[in-house]
Amino acid sequence: MSFSLLSLLFPPKCPVCRTRLEKDEVLCPKCLSEYQKEKYRPCKKCGKKSCRCSCRPAVSTPDAFAYLSVFRYDEKSPGGRMILKLKDRKDQRIAAFLAKDLEKSLQNGCILRSDALITHVPRDPDAILEKGTDQARELADALARHCSLERAVCLKSKGGKKQKTLSSKERLENARGRYALSERCPDLQGRQVILVDDILTGGSTLTVCAELLKSKGALSVVCLAAGRR
């Protein structure tokens, strides 16, 4: 079935409020303007717009050159709803939409090298089986396509306790047990690595993953998330 016929039978709807979308829209105009507000909402710490904030999270490492993000995360807000949607199933339109803004935050927060390598924080294999997709992987794929940069899988998740249920102290220790370098990880000697995740919370996951990438020779690691709690 052709794409146009499909969209005639199942007209695309706004992933946030379910109103029908016009051609080429990813969000309806109302949700789009709310989303823009989240991007421009000032950070409580540095006062910069969320999409320009590079505040270090509670847990951070000098191995990560920067911690960047696009919008202030809230489950009910348009950005948060888009992330939830991506967790449920692949949606290339949403991933491509967010990739454009991820690139802007990246360009604002670091000097992006043309030989940079894009990788992602892998989701727990059990969670993928249960829910369907790895949203950070989708975002990293879309970002690599958008910026024409090399893409690699460098890390793997070994599963374990969910970070959500732990105190911030326990989170770092738990994250160390959860992630490891993947057998597929290429040599990172001298490379700038962009580490993509969906949401930046306390920073322990990104921090542990940045340390692993550094141990494989990465020259610098830039942590980049769509939302920041």
User: Which residues of this chain interact with Zn ion, rule CB under 5 A?
Assistant: 14, 16-17, 28, 31, 43, 45-46, 53, 55
77 vs 174, which CB is nearer to Zn ion? 77
17 vs 219, which CB is nearer to Zn ion? 17
188 vs 225, which CB is nearer to Zn ion? 225
- List Cβ neighbours of 199 (8 Å cut-off, separation of 6 or more): 73, 83, 225, 226, 227, 228, 229
Residue with tokens 């009910």: 76
CA quadruple 135, 136, 138, 139: dihedral positive or negative?
positive
96 vs 185, which CB is nearer to Zn ion? 96
Shortest Å, Cβ 181 to Zn ion: 30
12 vs 186, which CB is nearer to Zn ion? 12
Tell me the helices (H) and strands (E) count for the chain, helix number first: 8, 7
Shortest Å, Cβ 109 to Zn ion: 11
Shortest Å, Cβ 1 to Zn ion: 26
106 vs 144, which CB is nearer to Zn ion? 106
Shortest Å, Cβ 101 to Zn ion: 17
Strand partners of residue 74:
none
Shortest Å, Cβ 50 to Zn ion: 8
* Cβ-defined contacts of 171-176 (< 8 Å, 24+): 171/59, 171/202, 171/204, 171/205, 172/59, 172/204, 172/207, 172/208, 174/204, 175/204, 175/205, 175/207, 175/208, 176/208
Residue type, 16: V
> How far is 88 from 91, CA to CA, in rounded Å?
9
Shortest Å, Cβ 16 to Zn ion: 4
